[in-house]
A and B are shown apart, each in its own frame.
Chain A
Amino acid sequence: MNDAVDTVVQPAEGVATLLGTDGEPESPIEAYRFDFETTAATSKEPAWLREARRSAFAEFERDGFPTMKDEDWHFTNVAPISEKIFRTGAKGGPVSAEVVERFGHGEAWHTVVFVNGRAEQSHGPALPDGVSVTTLASEISGDSALLQRHLSKLSTPESGAFTALNAAMAADGAVIRISADVVVEKPIHLLFIADAVSENTAVQTRNLVFAERHSQATVIESYVSVGGDSYFTNAVTEVFVDDGARLGHYKLQTESRNAFHVGTVQVKQGRDSRYESFSFATGARLSRTNVYSTLAGEAAEVVMNGLYMVDGSQHVDHQTRIEHVAPNCPSHELYKGILDGRSHGVFNGKVYVHPEAQKTDGKQSNNNLLLSESARVDTKPQLEIFADDVKCTHGATVGRLDETALFYMRSRGVGPLEAKRLLTYAFAADVLEKIELEPLKLSLERQVLERFTSN
């Protein structure tokens, strides 16, 4: 009765077969593959980059997204990211002056605005001589030798699926070069805005920062959103801090409550360099921030601080890693967390002291404040020491607001809400104090205060 012949359609060479019958991807991996094949891999990029991207994508496909069986992801389930279809390659677009005003710092800072991952505009004072801030897209189209030499050299595709995916697909980001001996007084602000059409998009951002010998600068990365969209930011920043250079690097993650954020900062420090990092994370439904530094030159100093504040059902995860390779290096780290609602915080700080890294002075702490019964924290400071003449300490605490202090304040006439707000603020202020960039410190202090006023 049925004359129809079962025909096996041989997939033709080409990208069309990457998609399901209705032309839409049927799985997240299919979406990534399609977007990779139709954009990154087929672009007019230099051959070396196309090759690197293809091998990174293969790495990503081979690894797949991490699971909770993976030691580095033991407390963070990335299924909400890995099981959802996100499309890479969304367009940027103009963004209103009002929005830039809201998230920027006026004309005081050198600001580059990215919308949905694409560089759109820049603001602020002229950059001093010896400093350049360009975009990854322009470095790629100009086939920059610098890029070829350094891209994915610190943060390699082998270091994990998210980084591999980023290496395969990141089309834009900032490339900052501070020449030797140049001091940049005003901060360089990279403002990444997810606009109102970012729903279900993946924003793959790659930044490179070169602080040459004895240069001095401050770089701020802000990840913000104008709406409540559900999108996925996957950012990687590679930072080279050469001998004697000093770099302040602040990362502010205040994405939409429905967004997902995975961000890695990988730093390599030369002799006598100083790198100060601060991670401020209050946004996203699920976020993971990695801050890694390798102290490759003698007497290099690293400071890693952070503050995360979440509530509702937010999940915030930080992983830091400090590799003491060279001797006489100090590393100081303080992360604080404030968790309310049913939120979940994760901190994993690793300090590795290699056999040659004698006279290492390492100090690491993570303190958490739980404001509700159902908030939860998993904290895991780790020290691995293979040198014998070092001074290293680490510790973690998880606590609640001090009832005696609350009563003390109430006995002076301060109501319970105000007393809680003050104590919570005080807990956070302790780590914000450490921010060396004064206007940023004040701005974050205000944000923290406001956050606890509305409760």
Chain B
Amino acid sequence: MLVIKNLRASIGDKEILKGIDLTVNAGEIHAVMGPNGSGKSTLAQVLAGHPGYEVTGGEVLYDGKNLLEMDAEVRAQEGIFLAFQYPIEIPGVTNAYFLRSAYNEIRKSKGMTELDPLEFLDLMEEKTKIVEMDPAMMNRSVNTGFSGGEKKRNEILQMAVLEPRLAILDETDSGLDIDALKVVSNGVNALRSPDKAMIVVTHYQRLLNYIVPDFVHVLANGRIVKSGGKELALELEAKGYDWIPGAAA
């Protein structure tokens, strides 16, 4: 589904990704772990098409197509979703309006008919249950005045509505208490399927108790320095990163 080859990216003059190789197949969950500043979030943002990063080398194929040539909205329409580490507040635009716009843009791109507000409301009734969210939150401005936990739930709600084929979760667990973490993880697990894939970026092994990955990769200094199965996450939790060649600061 996704093939990343020797991907390099910079912000300003600073090179952050220094040659990433990663292959993700349908049905798989890949965890990307690593110390602060290793480039985890940059990888997530570059895959989602953030215009602030400059890709300086390598290639990314998504279903055999050149992902790097696609604008961010095209990537979303093609089924890529990034759950933000810090979800953005948009005062004045309601959650419902925003999500319906996004949903309909994606449907339009597939030649499907748009949902009207009432039909969309029905869909929301169903989807808000997945993340145990009060449907009344849909009438509030996007993420405005939401608690940290509410923001993360809102991200997963968006994901549940937009039904991406490749979801990238960027530190979705950060700042969550254990109850919220369970809700969010349950939401994510409900969206697992054999034709979908996920990249879970996290700093802590804790999340991976709930969202169990097929593969774990260690990102350090802009490169993947080690890959393994889910047991690698436990090893990292116990021993930290310093024992891995190339991971030392």
Contacts and interface: CB of A to CB of B under 8 A. Distances in A.
Nearest to A419: B73
Contacts of A419: 73
Interface stretch (B11-19, B91-99, B124-132): B91-99
A415 B105 contact: yes
Interface stretch (B61-69, B76-84, B216-224): B76-84
A419 B51 CA distance: 15
Given A416-B73, A418-B105, A411 B48 contact: yes
A305 to B, nearest CB: 15
B22 interface: no
Contact of A430 (B50, B88, B92): B92
Contact of A410 (B72, B90, B98): B72
Contacts of A226: none
B92 A425 contact: yes
Interface residues of A, number: 24
B213 to A, nearest CB: 23
A413 B76 contact: yes
A426 B92 contact: yes
A424 to B, nearest CB: 10
Contact of A413 (B52, B88, B89, B105): B105
Interface string A386-412: 000000000000000011110111111
Nearest to B78: A413
Contact of B91 (A407, A411, A426): A426
A385 interface: no
Contacts of B48: 411
B101 A414 contact: yes
A358 to B, nearest CB: 34
> Does more than half of chain A's interface fall in helix, strand or loop, or is it mixed?
helix
A356 B134 CA distance: 50
A29 interface: no
B73 A414 contact: yes
Interface string A63-97: 00000000000000000000000000000000000
B92 A409 contact: no
A409 B51 contact: no
B74 to A, nearest CB: 9
Given A407-B51, A408-B84, A422-B101, A415 B90 contact: no
Nearest to A429: B92
Interface size class of B (residues with CB under 8 A): 20 to 34
Contacts of B101: 414, 418, 422
A429 B93 CA distance: 9
B193 interface: no
Interface in A398-455: 402-405, 407-416, 418-419, 422-423, 425-430
A408 B106 contact: no
A427 B73 contact: no
Nearest to B73: A410
Contacts of A426: 90-93, 141
A410 B51 CA distance: 11
Contact of B76 (A411, A418, A423): A411
Nearest to A408: B88
Contacts of A402: 88
Given A408-B84, A422-B98, A413 B90 contact: no
Contact of A427 (B75, B92, B102): B92
A422 to B, nearest CB: 5
B93 A407 contact: no
Given A415-B105, A418-B101, A422-B98, A410 B92 contact: no
Contacts of B102: 409, 412-414
Nearest to B144: A426
B158 A410 contact: no
B49 interface: yes
B195 to A, nearest CB: 19
Nearest to B159: A412
Contacts of B231: none
Contacts of B82: 411
B176 to A, nearest CB: 20
B60 interface: no
A147 B67 CA distance: 73
Nearest to B168: A411
Given A415-B105, A418-B105, A404 B88 contact: yes
A382 to B, nearest CB: 27
20 contacts: A404-B88, A407-B50, A407-B52, A407-B72, A408-B90, A410-B49, A410-B72, A411-B76, A412-B76, A412-B81, A413-B76, A414-B73, A414-B101, A414-B102, A415-B73, A423-B90, A425-B93, A426-B90, A426-B92, A428-B92
Which 3 residue pairs across A and B have the least CB separation, nearest first?
A426-B92, A413-B76, A412-B102
Interface of B: 48-52, 71-73, 75-77, 81-82, 84, 87-93, 97-99, 101-103, 105-106, 109, 141, 158, 162
Given A416-B71, A430-B91, 16 more contacts: A405-B89, A408-B84, A408-B88, A409-B90, A410-B49, A411-B49, A411-B50, A411-B82, A413-B77, A413-B102, A413-B105, A413-B106, A414-B101, A414-B102, A414-B105, A415-B105
